[in-house]
Structure 1
Amino acid sequence: MSVSNTPPRAEPAEGEIVVVTGMTGAGRSTAAKELEDLGYYVVDNLPPSLLPEVVRLVDRSHGATQPIAVVIDVRSGSFFAGLHTQLAQGFSGRRTTLVFLDAADDVLVRRQEAARRPHPLQASGRLLDGLVRERTVLADLRSDADLVIDTSSLNVHQLTDRIAQAFGTPGTTGLKVTVISFGFKYGIPVDADFVADMRFLPNPHWVPELRPHTGRDADVAAFVTAQVGADAFLEGYVPVLIGVAEGYLREGKRFMRIAIGCTGGKHRSVAMTEEIVSRLTAGGLDARATHRDLGRE
């Protein structure tokens, strides 16, 4: 699996509060460490009722422009129920972003077993019982999250990249669009807002001179975009995405993930992802490409 390079670090948004929550084993600690590296004042395992006090202390010691990141999870016990109330009330004009980290149950079980740690909610039952209870407790927060990251197929470095992409660049009030190529045989990205299927285009895999190359190579990209239906798709789909992006901004959403798939995630989806990103960028959006399955074949 290929791993993209982390983008250059930049100053975080002034005064932003990032609340990191999610499933046990989904990568909260990794996200917190990356936010700390990006300049956030990070507090782990904080009861929600203490959030206002933390903001006051940081304002007093570091100033109101210091960005803050807090990790809140079910270890907070009964205090966890107060998180919705605290987020709704806001924090002295600071912008708040709720990040939810998730992963498939089988992945979470393997990670917890590898770490040899019991689940905080499993009691005398199975680890999976604890995960079921945790999903129930977190269901509303997941639906309200500004950014959901599924870490099932991400390693530590890839999760770090995702956090850096979301919070490590200036102008975080704008919409950040990620277009991800993938192979259907490896599964659809579960955290995508939109999914498009490029298998209606001829596959370069069956062209001997193109088979070893990828959609990032000029000859493959030219082949894919020249096929009947490719330009019509782009001409119809990209304006729709731009229109939705404008609606997201009006509704206060700042993250948008578009998944572009083909059979193996090597040729058609990669080439079309690069072309879509190019057109979205030309349309004034902050868009970047990620190729999830490139290198797996």
Structure 2
Amino acid sequence: MVSASSEQMTSDTPTSKPSWPELVIVTGMSSAGRSTAANVLEDLGWYVVDNLPPQMLNELLDLAARGGGTGSGSRPTAGIAAVVDVRSRSFFQALQDALFELRTRGANPRVVFLDAADDVLVRRQESVRRPHPLQGDGRILDAVHQERLMLEFVRENADVVIDTSGLNVTQLRSKVSQVFDTGALPALRATVMSFGFKYGVPLDADFVLDMRFLPNPHWVEELRPQTGLDAPVSEYVLAQSGADVFLDRFVSSLEPVLVGYEAESKRYMTIAVGCTGGKHRSVAMTTALATRLAALGVQVGTLHRDLGRE
């Protein structure tokens, strides 16, 4: 028998909404660096589950919300990361439905997509002993094309896309750490990356800046062997006509973008700063731009993709 007071309490007490842990889904092309990204997250205190069928994402979230997701009886310190990819074969088509259900429940998972150029993926796949998951009796390149088609909708809707074409393992670990290594999540994180146009434009750049309008220190004999990290080169580049004006105006133009990103809950962006070889101008301007962005309250990390290649 239920008393009147119990009935009143039952009808008047609102059902509390669950407090979901942070959930990140790591996916992307085979040989693009998913395992490295997952290892970094694990090092940062995330609970990582590899090769999870998408249908089990909701069950994983429920377990973590109850405090059992780590296997230790306590909730993960940073959050949960699930690696989902084409190894799941028939399961993978369920990812879109799983993401929709998670967001309907208010979990708001972030999707991180690891990508690389086709020729890079083929070379990496050739260097490992295991065949591509979709290769069968065909060529590796055919499998890469098939996988790219399968993952097209995921890449288009990912929260973070990381192009690993020109990154070594150390650089990739650094970039993933810049995105996720935090106790309190800032409004926005940014990676400012120098690169050389001769080595290709980063595929994951939200903004691409071309520093080739500035005089090249390569043609100054005493500066040629140095880099943009050295004070003489940096001072030379920043002293050129238009350098400071460019930086000031670009940062000013970014201010409404930063407000919009915050409103849309976009937490991460990549600004690629390029010159011919990625050694002098782009490196110096990357450092200067990062300093200006930090002054606006943006949490900034720098990465010099092609430094040392010349």
| TM-score, normalisation: structure 2 | 0.87
Which one has the largest radius of gyration? 2
Is the contact between residue 228 and residue 279 of structure 2 (CA under 8 Å) also seen in structure 1? yes
Partner residue of 1:131 out of 144, 166, 181? 144
Partner of 1:176: 189
Is the contact between residue 21 and residue 61 of structure 2 (CA under 8 Å) also seen in structure 1? no
Cα deviation per residue 1:151-198 (whole Å; 9 max; x = unaligned)? 112222221111111111233252111111111111111111111111
Deviation at 1:212, TM superposition (A): 2.2
Deviation at 1:89, TM superposition (A): 2.3
Partner of 2:261: 248
- Aligned partners of 1:186 and 1:281: how far apart in 2? 28
The answer on 1:118 being equivalent to 2:131 is yes
Q: What are the residue-to-residue correspondences of 1:5-84 with 2, within 5 Å?
A: 15-60=21-66, 61=68, 62-63=73-74, 66=77, 67-84=79-96
Q: Which amino acid aligns with 2:56?
A: L
Deviation at 1:227, TM superposition (A): 1.0
Q: What are the residue-to-residue correspondences of 1:211-230 with 2, within 5 Å?
A: 211-230=224-243
Q: What are the residue-to-residue correspondences of 1:186-201 with 2, within 5 Å?
A: 186-201=199-214
- Sequence identity, in percent? 59
- Aligned partners of 2:133 and 2:22: how far apart in 1? 30
Which gives a bigger RCO, structure 1 or 2 (Cα 8 Å, sep 6+)? 1
Aligned length: 284
Deviation at 1:222, TM superposition (A): 1.6
Deviation at 1:201, TM superposition (A): 0.8
Q: Which amino acid aligns with 1:270?
A: V
- Aligned partners of 1:273 and 1:243: how far apart in 2? 21
Shift in alpha-carbon separation, 1:119–1:65, aligned structure 2, 3 A? closer
Is the contact between residue 182 and residue 188 of structure 1 (CA under 8 Å) also seen in structure 2? yes
Q: What are the residue-to-residue correspondences of 1:149-164 with 2, within 5 Å?
A: 149-164=162-177
Cα RMSD, aligned residues only: 1.7
- Aligned partners of 1:214 and 1:124: how far apart in 2? 47
Q: What are the residue-to-residue correspondences of 1:257-296 with 2, within 5 Å?
A: 257-296=270-309
Is the contact between residue 197 and residue 274 of structure 2 (CA under 8 Å) also seen in structure 1? yes
Cα deviation per residue 1:16-54 (whole Å; 9 max; x = unaligned)? 111001111111111111111111111111111111111
Is the contact between residue 46 and residue 76 of structure 2 (CA under 8 Å) also seen in structure 1? no
- Aligned partners of 1:109 and 1:215: how far apart in 2? 33
Q: More displaced, 118-127 or 25-34?
A: 118-127
The answer on 1:203 being equivalent to 2:209 is no
- Aligned partners of 1:263 and 1:126: how far apart in 2? 34
Q: Which runs of 5+ in 1 are unaligned?
A: 1-13
Q: Which amino acid aligns with 1:164?
A: S
Q: Which runs of 5+ in 2 are unaligned?
A: 1-19
